[in-house]
Every structure is written in structure tokens, then in C-alpha cells.
Amino acid sequence: MKKNVIHIEGAKQHNLKNITLDIPRDELVVVCGPSGSGKSTLAFDIVYAEGQRRYVESLSAYARQFLPQMDKPDVEKIEGLSPAISLEQQTATRNPRSTVGTVTEIYDFLRVFFARLGKMHCPKCGDAIESRALDEIIADILNLKDGTRCILLAPLVEYQKGTQQDKLKKLKAEGFARVRINGKIVEIDEFPELDKNKKHNLDLVVDRLVLRENIRGRISDSVELALRYGDGRISLLIPEHKTETGENISEQELKFSTLSSCTRCKISMPALTPQLFSFNSPQGACPQCLGLGTVEYFEPALIAPNKGLSLNTGGVLPWKNPKIFEKYEKTLLELGKDFAFTLSTPLKDFSEDAFNALFFGLDNEGKPYQSAQYNLQRNWLGGTKAPKKDNKIKDTWKGIIAILEQGMQYGEAWRDELSRYRQTRACPACKGARLKPEALAVKVNGINIYEFCSLSVTKAFNWIEALDFSGRHSIIAEPLQKELSHRLSFMSSVGLEYLTLSRSMATLSGGEAQRIRLASQLGSGLVGVTYVLDEPSIGLHPKDNLRLLNTLRSLQQRGNTVLVVEHDEATIREADTVIELGPGSGILGGELIFNGSVPELLKAKNSLTAGYLRGDLRIPRPTKRRKASGELVLKGVSTHNLKNIDCSFPLGVFTSVTGVSGSGKSSLVIDTLYKHLALSQGLKVENPGTLNAIEGVEQIERIIAIDQTPIGRTPRSNPATYTKIFDEIRNIFAMTPDAKKRGYKPGRFSFNVPGGRCEACSGDGQIKVEMHFLPDIHVTCDLCKGKRYNYETLEVKYKGLNISEVLDLTVSQAKTFFESYPVLQRRLNVLEEVGLEYLKLGQPATTLSGGEAQRIKISKELGKKSLPNTLYILDEPTTGLHMHEVGKLITVLNQLVDKGASVLVIEHNTDLIMSTDYVIELGPGGGDNGGTIIAKGTPEKVLKE
């Protein structure tokens, strides 16, 4: 075996065909090839899985039971492995508590930063609050210039009514001679008579001092006395005076306190600890949203999506059932008399008052709530109780939303049903900040922790760098500033400078989530590790690629092996070694086509990748652009960083939205356009974007988002079940003479329900054996030998094959086998057109690549004869696709348009952009520097701009 390589022999995992290869260590290695050719299998299921498994096996049995176990890959031998770290796109958490700050651990340092360096302010009045020890107060006074005249005061009364005579008598009896009343110092004997109906301030004059040497003892005694009378608070008044140079100094008043409380609002503040700034801790989380930053509420647009319907024709969806509606019918009739509607009035004809009364209820005076937002807040905070008056309907009607809120308490099933009508919005208590008011009142240099987390990475870095502390604070701040600056700079180096630390991880793309983990690894400083990455260039504009490549190179130059699954041309050209798998996908792939340097690759004759790199192969571009048949117009869009823009999307054509990372593409297309169109169709979406108006909605009947998420989460899902091909196949088997003789229906040939399936494995074909602290083992079922069906079901055959053997056919084989069934032919033809002729009908969904899953979804749509008034939205559809497959994708997307649909893609791939009819480019930068449309028109027009 060669030294300094990862040597793999006899790899047969998934579709790999017994390949043997050496992967150089301490180099940047790119694995490329068509989608489904075995790239991820080699990189993740073999190199990463075995590196992780061997590390875990070195731990004790006790420790192993707490760690995820990796299956042993199907290889004869692996040598030269080092500990492996996987940075996959699928690792993005959907936990609503995960933010960019928490995942990168920047927020952990921030909590310590604000706990140790933050200045407390009153959550109500905003006054600064600082607790000082007795010795600190004395030291601060002694630090004043010698000869300074000052008066030590103890606050007794603040903004209180009364004559205060009782207090004065007591003070005089205790030997005090002077007080300050409403800012004026007077003798107690000459105290003016106060208006008992006005608010007054009263301070006790404890001592009058001239600072000089050997006065510490007197100051100490006086401060202690003043703190006792002032309940832990004192003031030091320095009267107006002239300096030795003749400069006139105005009156000053220094306030000190041994308590963390606001002297004006009488609010005590908690101790500053890192837990106070954690929204995952009860000490810091907002009590209303429990640290989520959002709350759910009932959305009228979901409750009554069709305004053309009336109350008695199912206009209110939760009351569509006549039995439920009957409960409220009499009450609604009475309400209608007051607000001029009947049960037959279409909702679109309701006046604003009538609509508010119907949905949001009546206030204590029997009037409809005018503000829907106020009403939502009222429901979030538990509602209000109207007093009983004349027992009229206007005094008792709570509104549809309040009734549904009450219904949420009637059990899990009813709660699940009602959740369809709920929407998510920022918490009204914390405004999305997730923290208690006390935590948000702590500031460093004028901003609180949430305001800092709302800055872009670039602005946050500049703010940290500009901070300058003095004294003991500078010693505390130095290591924290250094750590924060480093981690923020790593975020910039992977092209994420436009993100904010408060951004939820659930809103990030797979590529962004992967680059966040990459930034975290940059800060770890590990060496001798194998990093395995899955297309890190996803979501990056070509101009941002250089920084990413520099980051990968810096990881490699530290002494790490960087193994990257990638299709991006710039990344391939930068690699030290390129490994290409192919020649095709699925069963047509799994072979080692090339393993060597980039110059050697360019000379390779049998390499598909080399053909595109040399320019021998090109993706054809259209010669003619289509004309739009209509348009969708968004007005005043200000979602996230979008700057109140108007944008029109042409219909009936192929449109691409492009721009640098963070320029606002997803905010415009997904968060605003898609979510508002989905809302208009009664679909549940979270946090729709902000806009003033949307025009042209009536032109869209169906809106479909096609992404690369798996077509199923379990091995039971497969291409045949997803595309409904399996329904037809089961019908065919049910019509065979054998099936009719035995009385078998189509359900007999399903492996998802009892009857025809093997009950020993419940139709899985394999049995999972739990091994506790060892990886679970999947054993082929002894009874059915992995065929999923029982003996009697497998006896039924069509053209010599049983149902299990038919599921083992590829799409091409099935097309020939079912040539006499036009419905099946059409659907199988479409799968061939999208380049999936090699897939087996029963191939488990868990073994399909993202590109394959996406094309299966497209094929399901292409199977329809026409697609008028349909809008397809795709986010980076070229993810995971080889250059050759990008051409196939362009062809099938054009077929959707040819059938009457509109196709809108967010994309950076220049070949795909040049193949579209219309381009919208956002920019000019990311984050705050983006959010505007910088170019639009045909690709040729945009190129000129």
C-alpha cells in the first residue's frame, strides 16, 4: 500500500461495482460524476462512515450507547483512515430554537460578553442601573480631585404626594440639620410648607465635605450612614464652582447604589449571569413565547379562504360540518341584525365592522374590535372577559377566533385539525427577540444582545473591533473580543457575511447550513482530520466561489484531507486530485472512471466531465425567447432585506431569479411570492413576507414548489408508489386469472397493508435487530427472502413475473414489459425523458440522490396532459447535477412550459440562466447591501447591463 493515502479495496456499497482506489491524504480531493453515480456513497457512506465508526468503536461500551452508530460499509478493506467530520447539506436542523448564533457557538461567547461587560438599564424608563460595593463607592469619591467640595445626600422620597412633616420631625430628633427639597437645600427648621396634592422629592443631607488627605474614615462613616437612610442609594452633589484656571464648572450629581434596582420605577434587576441572556433557559426566555420568538394565532385568510362563500355554505372551514355550524347559527343570526349581514351573505360583501365582529368578537361596549393586530395580541395573551350586561348577543360574542382558541383544549385530534388554520407571527411581548425585558435592558455601547444579533456578520465584526474598554473591563473584554472577532471573520470567509446571528437555522438553505458548520470547523483548528463536504458551492454566486475555495484550501494546508463531492467547474479545476465515478447513474454508474490530477483529467478521453471542461461538450442554448402570456406583480415588498421593491414575474415562460448570496432571492420568491400565493389557495405557510399588494393572483390555479427533499422517509417509499405507477401495476395483477380465481383485489399486492405482504417483516423485506451499544443490524427476512410478499401472493404472475420481480425491473425494462398498457407507457416514458431510465421501480427512496428525487417529482407533473395556470417554483434545481444532467433538466423544465405552465427558478448556474426566457437579478451585494432589482429582461439584455 502507498503511504499517505486512504486505500479502499472492493467497495460494493449500494451501486459501487467492486471498485478499488487510493484517495491521497492532506490534499483537496474532488469527487464528481453524474447524479446517482455513487459519489455520496464513496465519500459519506464509506470514507466518513468508516472513519466515524472506528473512532466510536475505540470508546467504551458505555459511551457508545449514547452516540449514533454507523453501519459497517460493504468493502473488503480500508486502510489509512483518519478521524472524519461530515459537513452535509442535510444536517441543517429544523429546531426553531437553533439560530446562526447558537450553531456557530458565537452566541455562547456573546452571553458571557454581555453578562460581564453589559450595563444594566431599567426596562421601563431606560435609566442606567449600576450596583456598587461600599468600598467601590468610597474609592470613586476619593478619586475626585483634592479640594473638591461635595454634599452627600440620601434619597428619602421620590415623586410622592404629602407634606412630609412626620419624616422631618423624626430626622430632626435624630440630629440632622438639613434636607434637599425639590432640588433646593434648606434647614429643617426653615422647611417650607408643601402642597400635599403635589409630588415632591426629598433628600437628606448627611454630610458636607472638602476632599483632602486622611479623610477616608469620615467618608466611610458618612457613606454607610447615607446608604442606611437611602435604602442602599446615595447621591454626591458637587455644586457649581470655578477651577484654578478660572473655568466655570456646572453643578454635578453622581448617583451610587448597592442594589440592582431602578430608583425611579422601583424595579429590582436580576444578577447579570450568562443564563439571563439564554432564550433556552427559563432565566432568560420571554415568558410569552418561551424563547421561540414567535407565537401561533388563527389566521382569517386560512379560516375563510374563499370569500365568495357565505356562512351557511361553508365559508368558515372549521364550521363546514352542519352539526358544528348549528351550535352557532342562532347566535350568528342575532349578530347579523346588528351588523347588517345574513347567513347567506358572501363574506366578501361583509363590511369591515361586520368582518371584525364576526372573527375578532366584541369589546366590553359591544363594539367590534377595529384592529385585527390588537385582537391577535388579545388572543395571544389569553383574551379578555366582557362583563355581563343585558345578556345581549353583542355583550357575549367572543368571535370565531376566540372560539377556535378554546377548541384547542379539546384533545390532540381536534388540536391537529385546528392547526391547519393557524399561522406564526413574531411574539407581541418580545417582538421576536426571544428574551425577557430584563435581558434586553442590558447594553454594551448602547445596544442590547438582540440588537447585536440583528446586525449582519460584517457589521457585527466591525462593531466588536471598534469597542474600546478601559481599566479592569479591558482585561475582561480582550479574550471575548478576540474569540468573537475570529468566529465572525470565519463566517465572512465562507461567504456568509450577509447573515444575522438571530436568523433561524430553519430558514437557511442546505448550502448555507453546511457553510456555517464549515466556519465552525475553521475555528476549531483541528489537524489530521478528513473533512467530507457535499457541494459547498450550493447557493453561492460565482463571484463568491473564490473565498470558499480559499477556505477549503486553508483547511487542507493545516494538514487535513478535504474530500468534496462537487460539480462546480471552478472547484474541480482547483482540486489537487479529481475522482470521477460513472459512466451513468444508478445501475449504469458505480465504476471508477478517473483518478488523478486536473491536467491528467483534461487529457482523459472517456471522461464526461473532461469533455465539458475542455469545451468539447456544451449545453445548447435556445435561439428564440418566449413571450409572456401575463404577469404576477408584487408591490412594496420589504421582506427581510428587500427594500420596498416592486417586481413583476412574467407568466407562461421560463424565468430565473439570480444574484449574489444574500441579495434577497429566496426572500422574494419563496418567502413572499410562493407563501402569499399558497395563502390565497388556503394552504398553511409560516411567516409570509411583507408586501403592500399582489396583482394577478387569479391567473394562478396551482402553485407547486419542487425541491430535492426525499420522496419518502422510509424504504417503503419508491418511484413506483410516488408516481402512482404501482397503483396501475397492482390493478394489472388483480386482473390476472390466478388473482381472480383466488379472489385477490389490488390491495393484496400492497406491501404496506396486511393481507398479501410477508407479516414476518411487515413488508419491509428485512428485519431490524437492535444491538444497543453496537450499530443496529438489518437482516434479510428468512421467510420471504427479502421479497416482501407471502408465498401465496408471489404465486400470482403476469407474463411470467410475480409482483416482487416486477418491482425489481428498471424503468426501461418495465416500459417494454408493459407495452400494451398506454397509461403505464406514458408515465414510464416521462421517467425516461427526465433521465431516470436506470432506476428500479421498487428502489427505496432512502437510496435516491437529491437530483433523482427532484426529477421524479418533475416527472409526476410532466405525466399530466396539460398544465394551464400552473406555476412551478424551484430553488437551485441544479444542486447535485453534473453538467451533462443540467442540460437534461433544462429540457424537462422547458417541457413544463410547453404544456402551458410557468416555471420560476432561483439559480446561479450560468448555463441554466442563459436557457431561460426572462432573468431577474437582485443585488448589488448581500444583506443590507442587497435587496434591490439591478437588472431584468432577456438573458441578452441582462448581459449588456
For residue 90, pLDDT beyond 70: no
**Which residue do the cell numbers 396486511 mark?**
754
For residue 3, the model assigns a pLDDT of 67
The answer for 757, left when phi > 0, alpha when psi is -120 to 50, beta otherwise, is beta
For residue 371, the model assigns a pLDDT of 45
For residue 885, pLDDT beyond 90: no
For residue 373, the model assigns a pLDDT of 44
To which H or E segment does residue 414 belong? helix 412-418
Closest CA to 758 of 801, 714, 717, 804: 804
For residue 366, pLDDT beyond 80: no
What mean pLDDT is predicted for residues 312-339?
87
To which H or E segment does residue 336 belong? helix 322-339
What mean pLDDT is predicted for residues 695-707?
90
Cell numbers of 647, please?
417586481
Percent pLDDT > 70 in the chain is 94
**Whether the Cβ atoms of residue 657 and residue 632 lie closer than 8 Å to each other:** no
For residue 694, pLDDT beyond 80: yes
Query: How far apart are alpha carbons 516 and 522 in whole angstroms?
Result: 10
Closest CA to 568 of 578, 583, 560: 578
3-state SS, residue 631: strand
851-875 tens-digit pLDDT = 788 888 888 888 777 888 999 999 8
Per DSSP, which regions of 444-559 are E strands?
530-534
Per DSSP, which regions of 691-776 are E strands?
693-695, 702-706, 766-769
| Cis peptide upstream of residue 583 (ω within 30 degrees of 0) | yes
125-182 tens-digit pLDDT = 888 887 778 888 898 888 888 888 999 999 998 878 888 888 888 998 999 999 999 8
Q: Round the CA-based radius of gyration of the chain to a whole number and report it.
A: 36
For residue 404, the model assigns a pLDDT of 87
For residue 381, the model assigns a pLDDT of 37
Residue 775's pLDDT band (boundaries 50, 70, 90)? low
561-611 tens-digit pLDDT = 999 999 989 999 999 999 999 998 888 899 999 999 999 999 999 999 999
Residue 279, classified by CB atoms within 10 Å of its CB into exposed (0-12), middle (13-18) or buried (19+), is buried
For residue 773, the model assigns a pLDDT of 59
For residue 652, pLDDT beyond 80: yes
For residue 384, pLDDT beyond 70: no
Cell numbers of 614, please?
475542455
Find how far residue 216's CA is from the centre of its chain: 58
Closest CA to 116 of 483, 458, 457, 437: 483
**Which residue do the cell numbers 451533462 mark?**
884
Domains of the chain from N-terminus onward? 5-89+527-614 (3.40.50.300), 132-257 (3.30.190.20), 294-426 (1.10.8.280), 622-710+848-945 (3.40.50.300), 716-821+828-840 (1.20.1580.10)
**Whether the Cβ atoms of residue 749 and residue 803 lie closer than 8 Å to each other:** yes
For residue 758, pLDDT beyond 60: yes
201-210 tens-digit pLDDT = 899 999 999 9
CA atoms within 13 Å, Cβ hemisphere of 194: 21
Strand 19-24 and strand 5-11: the pairing is antiparallel
Closest CA to 240 of 229, 253, 255: 253
Find how far residue 711's CA is from the centre of its chain: 21
Please state, as a whole number, how many other Cβ atoms lie within 10 Å of the Cβ of residue 152: 22
Strand 577-582 and strand 28-32: the pairing is parallel
For residue 244, pLDDT beyond 50: yes
For residue 476, the model assigns a pLDDT of 93
Beta bridge partners of 8: 21, 78
Query: How far apart are alpha carbons 664 and 832 in whole angstroms?
Result: 36
Mean pLDDT for all residues in the chain: 87
What mean pLDDT is predicted for residues 56-72?
76
Percent pLDDT > 90 in the chain is 43
For residue 928, the model assigns a pLDDT of 82
What mean pLDDT is predicted for residues 880-889?
87
Residue 573, classified by CB atoms within 10 Å of its CB into exposed (0-12), middle (13-18) or buried (19+), is middle
What mean pLDDT is predicted for residues 930-945?
91
Q: What are phi and psi of 295, to 5 degrees?
A: -135, 155
3-state SS, residue 19: strand
Least confident segment among 92-101, 601-610, 865-874, 929-938: 92-101
3-state SS, residue 824: helix
Residue 359's pLDDT band (boundaries 50, 70, 90)? confident
For residue 217, pLDDT beyond 80: yes
Q: Residues near 637 by Cβ (< 8 Å), separated by ≥ 6? A: 644, 645, 646, 647, 668, 672, 689, 690, 691
6-47 tens-digit pLDDT = 999 999 998 999 999 999 999 999 999 998 899 999 999 999
Q: Residue 399 gets which letter from DSSP?
A: -
Closest CA to 625 of 655, 594, 591: 655
For residue 719, the model assigns a pLDDT of 93
Residue 266's pLDDT band (boundaries 50, 70, 90)? low
pTM across the whole model: 0.73
What size, in residues, is the chain? 945
Query: How far apart are alpha carbons 911 and 916 in whole angstroms?
Result: 9
Residue 648's pLDDT band (boundaries 50, 70, 90)? very high
